[in-house]
Structures are given as structure tokens and as C-alpha cells.
Amino acid sequence: MFNLFALSFLGLFPSQHVLQAPDVKVPVTLGVMSRCPDALLCENLFDTVLKKVSDKIDFRLVYIAQVNSSEPEFGATCLHGPEECAGNVHQLCAAEYTPLDNWWEFVNCNNYQGRNKACLSYTLPWTYIDFRQQIGLPETAKQCAHIAQIDWETSGVGECAGLDGSGRGTEGVNLLHKSILLGKTMGLEKSCTIMINSEPVCIHDGTWKACENGHRASDFIRQINAAYEQLNNQ
Ligand SMILES: *[C@@H]1O[C@H](CO)[C@@H](O)[C@H](O)[C@H]1NC(C)=O
């Protein structure tokens, strides 16, 4: 039998790879709609959460909508209109082809139009309203790709979403349908629903609902750390 320890002494395998099993990440999902004010609020809050625990989680956004073959553009009905379906596709394609840092910056840029978020307070709901109307537009997708250091043409994101920025690329529309169906199997109905380790832990739907263990960033960080320790038997 190969002696992996000997190989690691020889420097062929770094010893940490031999000795340490990879850790188990906590699945964390936000059920969202790209133009929904509740989603923007949750995403803003999770910007703080990700800064603390991004290395401990498998993070994704799942898009709530209805698959609908009568819809000519997206084969889906999105609550805030076809522009929202396009915005969902832009974000899904960014997540598919770029690392978390880039696609998360892309989502934040969608939400804030590249303005300095630090100047905005998420305690003022009206601040979302102006920016929301730009989500899903081709200019927004291309401008935000640039801001998030994603090359629209060569990264795969543009081809996925449609190089024209329409959000109607075949692959992107397929990703949208998959995401909607995944949301159904997860029982996601309200934007925004926060799921940690496959359990719904909090909803913001106009106001906070069903948040037994709190709704501040620190509450989510605490729950994620606890789930991570449990999953990794620490
Ligand atoms: C499906 O799309 C059609 C055409 O836009 C629309 O009239 C209908 O309400 C949609 N159905 C659902 C369930 O959203």
C-alpha cells in the first residue's frame, strides 16, 4: 500500500491534505426575488453575516417565482414583472460562473447601483425603492459586472444570461427554472426566507416573522457557528 505519510514527508503531498478531512459547510439559503424590498433588506443584512462566516457556509440565493409555459420571455411569472425574471437570471449566471466574492458584489451592486452602500442606512426602506427599478435591466447587469470585476463577454456570465443583457440566454433561463423548482422542494414561499442548515429560521415579509432565534446579523452568525460546530463534531 502507498504510504501517504512517507509521500507527504517527501513533499509530494502537503501533510495537511493527508491528515485533515475537509470540513462540512453549513447550507445557508436566502429565498428571494431580485426586485423585492424584503430580499434587498435580507441581502444587506447578510453582507455583514458573510464577512464573518463565509468560509463556514455553502451560500446561495434561491429565486421564488412560478414556472409558467404561457410566459413567452422566461417561461416563468415573477411577482415584480419580467424585469425581475431577468434580474434573477443575471444573478444566477453570476453565481454559476464566478466565486462568491464576485457574484455577491454583483448582487450588492444590483441592489445599490454601484453607489457607496456605506452611505446608505438599511433602516430607511425608501432607499431601496429607487434602485430596485434598475434591477434586471441590461445596462445594470453590464455595469455591475464591471464593478464586480466580472468580464461580461469572457467569464461565461454574459453567455449564460444572453450577451445583450436581456436575461434570456438559454442556460440562464434553465437556471431560473431549476432555482424556482428547488425553492418549491425547499418549501420557500415568501421573499425573504432565511434557511440555515435546511431549516427556515426567519422571514422578512413587510416585517420580521417567525424569527424565534432573533433577526440581527449577530443572531444568524451565532446560529451558523452552532450548526457548523454540530456538523463538524467540535
Ligand atoms: C401564466 O402566464 C400568463 C400569461 O402572462 C398569466 O396570465 C397567468 O396569470 C400566469 N399564471 C400564473 C400561475 O402565474
Give one DSSP letter per residue of 30-76, joined into a string: EEE-TT-HHHHHHHHHHHHHHHHHGGGEEEEEEE--EE-TT-TTTSE
Q: With cut-offs at 50, 70 and 90, classify the pLDDT of residue 215.
A: very high
11 inside domain = no
Q: In this structure, is residue 5 part of a structural domain?
A: no
Asked if residue 50 is part of any domain, the answer here is no
Say how far apart CA 202 and CA 218 lie, in whole Å.
13
Model-level pTM? 0.87
Dihedral sign, Cα of residue 122, residue 194, residue 204, residue 108: positive
Residue nearest to atom 11 of ligand 1 (CA): 68
* Dist. CA 148–CA 7, nearest whole Å: 41
Q: Coil, strand or helix: which one is 208?
A: strand
CATH label of the domain that carries residue 211: 3.40.30.10
Mean of the per-residue pLDDT values for the chain? 89
Distance 96 CA to ligand 1 centre (A): 28
Q: Atom of ligand 1 at shortest distance to CA of 70?
A: 2
Task: Report how far ligand 1's centroid is from the alpha carbon of 73 (Å).
Answer: 12
Classify residue 148 by burial, with Cβ atoms within 10 Å: 0-12, 13-18, 19+. buried
Q: How large is the average pLDDT for residues 140-150?
A: 96
Predicted pLDDT of residue 167: 98
Give domain status of residue 1, yes or no: no
Q: Which of 33, 64, 68, 79 to mutate to test the pocket of ligand 1 (most atoms within 8 A of CB)?
A: 68
Ligand 1, residue 77: give the atom nearest the CA. 14
Beta-bridge mates of residue 195: 29, 200
Tens-digit pLDDT profile for residues 13-42: 554 555 678 899 999 999 999 999 999 999
Per-residue pLDDT band at 185 (split at 50, 70, 90)? very high
CA 72 – ligand 1 centroid, Å: 10
Distance 49 CA to ligand 1 centre (A): 36
Mean pLDDT of 85-108: 97
- CA of 84 from ligand 1 middle (Å) equals 15
Model pLDDT, residue 120: 47
DSSP assigned state of 199: E
Q: Give 144 Cα–ligand 1 centroid separation in angstroms.
A: 30
- Closest residue (by CA) to atom 9 of ligand 1? 77
Counted domains in the chain: 1
Residue 13 included in any domain:
no
Q: Is residue 8 part of a domain?
A: no
* Ligand 1 atom closest to Cα of residue 68: 1
8 Å CB contact between 200 and 210: yes
Q: Is the predicted pLDDT of residue 162 greater than 60, yes or no?
A: yes
Q: How confident is the model at residue 4 (pLDDT cuts 50, 70, 90)?
A: very low
Residue 12 forms part of a structural domain: no
Whether 16 is in a domain gets the answer no
Where does ligand 1 bind, in terms of residues with CB under 6 Å?
66, 68, 70-71, 77
Domain containing residue 140: 26-43+56-231
Q: What is the mean pLDDT of residues 182-206?
A: 97
H-type helices in the chain, by residue range?
4-9, 15-19, 37-53, 82-97, 100-112, 126-132, 138-147, 157-161, 170-186, 217-231
> Which range among 36-40, 116-120, 128-132, 166-170 has the greatest average pLDDT?
166-170
